[in-house]
């Protein structure tokens, strides 16, 4: 990739008459310094099979291919085909797949590393998909700072949501570094951060217990300003069962869902009938 990534990207978009789509949350990474930092963080080896989610301009794709054995780049926007063929077409170890990653089984691609620049609108869904399909495969994602705030939020924070609880339950993660909006085109309104993801330190629950746990968490946040009893009742749980479970684990009857941590939710779900 040229050191003048932004100019090259704009020229290519104009040359191929590509119009970016807000519906896909497209913000292409063009900054070679940021791409170098990503490569250092991912530590891609020559034996790695990398699945990249959101190939975009192909700049990161082609750089990943310099180190990896194989890069399987997934891109939902078929209009980017000519751009991607230009930026990756001469690289034999890149395979392009045009489609929606949320309709794919990542495990069938047999990655050893997953990398992606995820838009806000589908970040949580893609993270859930990675955690459920390839949980033993390390992942590295560029995420908008709003999503990162949810990941890092603590009980009682305004950014603490049902997704925060799920994320802190389903995987371990580390914010590696921030990336300025100027590193992307079009320039987003908020900054981003590059985050590493791995298996959780505490093993996940069995499938049925996990599904019930997630239902309890989502129900507890359904009515954020209401007590957890009222919110879970609205979600379809029996109020008396909820009160009994809360009492058993030592929670006050007027507590709200956003004040509970992961372990408290796991204990609560264990005492609420399925």
Return the pLDDT at 224: 84
Q: Residue 221 maps to which CATH number? A: 1.10.8.100
CA distance 114 to 77: 19
CA 45 remoteness from chain centre:
23
Same domain, 234 and 173: no
Q: What is the pLDDT of residue 242?
A: 97
Residue 93 makes CB contacts below 8 A (sequence gap 6+) with: 65, 68, 69, 70, 71
The CATH number assigned to the domain holding 62 equals 3.40.50.150
How far lies 104's CA from each of 12, 64, 115, 129, in Å?
A: 29, 22, 16, 9
| 192 shares a domain with 217 | no
| The model's pTM | 0.94
Which pair of tokens denotes residue 208? 């049925």
Q: 133 and 212 share a domain?
A: no
The whole-number pLDDT of residue 128 equals 96
User: Could you tell me if 52 and 152 lie in one domain?
Assistant: yes
Burial class (CB in 10 A: 0-12, 13-18, 19+), 229: buried
Predicted local confidence at residue 91, as pLDDT: 87
Considering the domain architecture, whether residues 9 and 118 belong to the same structural domain is answered as yes
Question: If you count them, how many residues does the chain have?
Answer: 274
Q: Which two tokens stand for residue 87?
A: 């930026």
Residue 212 and residue 163 in one domain: no
**3 — pLDDT class (breaks 50, 70, 90):** low
Token pair of 119, please? 């838009």
Query: Which of 198, 230, 252 delimits the end of a domain?
Result: 198
High-pLDDT (> 90) share of the chain, %: 96
Residues 86, 55: contact at Cβ < 8 Å? no
pLDDT of 161 above 90: yes
Are residues 147 and 250 located together in one domain of the fold? no
Does one domain contain both 38 and 173?
A: yes
Mean pLDDT of 170-194: 96
User: Taking phi first (over 0 means left), then psi (-120 to 50 degrees means alpha), and beta for anything else, what does residue 96 get?
Assistant: beta
Same structural domain for residues 109 and 44?
yes
Residues 219, 178 share a domain: no
Query: What span, in angstroms and rounded, lies between the C-alpha atoms of 18 and 244?
Result: 59
The verdict on 37 and 80 lying in the same domain is yes
**Residue 160 tokens, joined:** 């603490």
Mean pLDDT score, 182-209: 96
Other CB atoms within 10 A of residue 204 CB:
16
Rounded to an integer, the average pLDDT of 52-75 is 97
Q: What is the per-residue pLDDT across 211-242, written as a single tens digit (0 to 9) for each? A: 999 999 999 999 988 999 999 999 999 999 99
Same domain for 60 and 109, yes or no, is yes
**Domain tally for the chain?**
2
Last residue of a domain, one of 198, 232, 248: 198
Percentage of the chain exceeding pLDDT 70: 99
Q: How far apart are CA 128 and CA 28, in angstroms?
A: 23
Distance CA 13, CA 18 (A): 5
Domain termination site, one of 198, 220, 245: 198
Q: Which domain holds residue 191?
A: 5-198
> Which tokens go with 230?
């009222």
């Amino acid at each position: 990739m040229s050191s003048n990534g932004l100019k090259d990207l704009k020229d290519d978009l104009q040359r191929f008459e590509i119009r970016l789509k807000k519906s896909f949350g497209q913000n292409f990474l063009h900054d070679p310094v940021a791409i170098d930092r990503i490569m250092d963080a991912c530590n891609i080896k020559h034996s790695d099979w990398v699945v990249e989610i959101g190939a975009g301009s192909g700049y990161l794709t082609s750089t990943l291919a310099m180190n990896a054995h194989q890069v399987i780049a997934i891109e939902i926007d078929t209009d980017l085909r000519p751009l991607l063929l230009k930026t990756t077409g001469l690289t034999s170890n890149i395979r392009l797949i045009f489609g929606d990653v949320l309709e794919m089984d990542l495990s069938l691609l047999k990655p050893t590393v997953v990398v992606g620049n995820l838009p806000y609108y589908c970040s949580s869904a893609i993270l859930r998909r990675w955690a459920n399909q390839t949980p033993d495969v390390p992942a590295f994602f560029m995420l908008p700072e709003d999503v990162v705030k949810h990941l890092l939020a603590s009980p009682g924070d305004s950014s603490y949501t049902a997704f925060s609880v799920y994320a802190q339950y389903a995987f371990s993660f580390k914010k590696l570094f921030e990336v300025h909006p100027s590193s992307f085109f079009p320039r987003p309104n908020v900054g981003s951060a590059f985050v590493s993801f791995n298996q959780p330190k505490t093993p996940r629950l069995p499938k049925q217990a996990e599904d019930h746990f997630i239902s309890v968490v989502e129900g507890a946040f359904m009515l954020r300003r209401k007590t957890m009893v009222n919110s879970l009742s609205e979600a379809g749980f029996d109020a008396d069962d909820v009160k009994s479970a809360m009492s058993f684990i030592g929670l006050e009857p007027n507590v709200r869902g956003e004040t509970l941590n992961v372990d408290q939710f796991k204990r609560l779900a264990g005492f609420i009938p399925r």
